[in-house]
Amino acid sequence: MDWLDKIPTVPLVIVAVFLGLAPFVPEPHLWEKLKMLRAGDLVRPLDIFDLLLHGVPVLLMLMKMGRLAWLQFFSS
């Protein structure tokens, strides 16, 4: 997980928030694609790419925050 530690936290959070919520109106793409995935409608390659584009930064941010919390908790 050394590669995750090398990613700067603040830029990652900024990218994750903006890509996770973009476009802001009428609903974020990430939310729309997750609803499509749940319904089984996520079949077009463009929709899958869109889910990855908007979801990977959010997933990385959650992994990094979880790792930071884990290290903080167990380093004491």
**Are 42 and 48 in contact, with CB atoms under 8 Å apart?**
yes
Of the pLDDT bands very low, low, confident and very high (cuts 50, 70, 90), residue 76 is: low
**Are 31 and 52 in contact, with CB atoms under 8 Å apart?**
no
Query: Rounded to whole angstroms, how far apart are CA atoms 50 and 32?
Result: 10
Per-residue pLDDT reduced to its tens digit, 9-30? 999 999 999 988 888 888 888 9
**Are 20 and 56 in contact, with CB atoms under 8 Å apart?**
no
The number of helix segments (H) and strand segments (E) in the chain equals: 4, 0
Q: Model-level pTM greater than 0.75?
A: yes
Per-residue pLDDT reduced to its tens digit, 25-51? 888 889 999 999 999 999 999 999 999
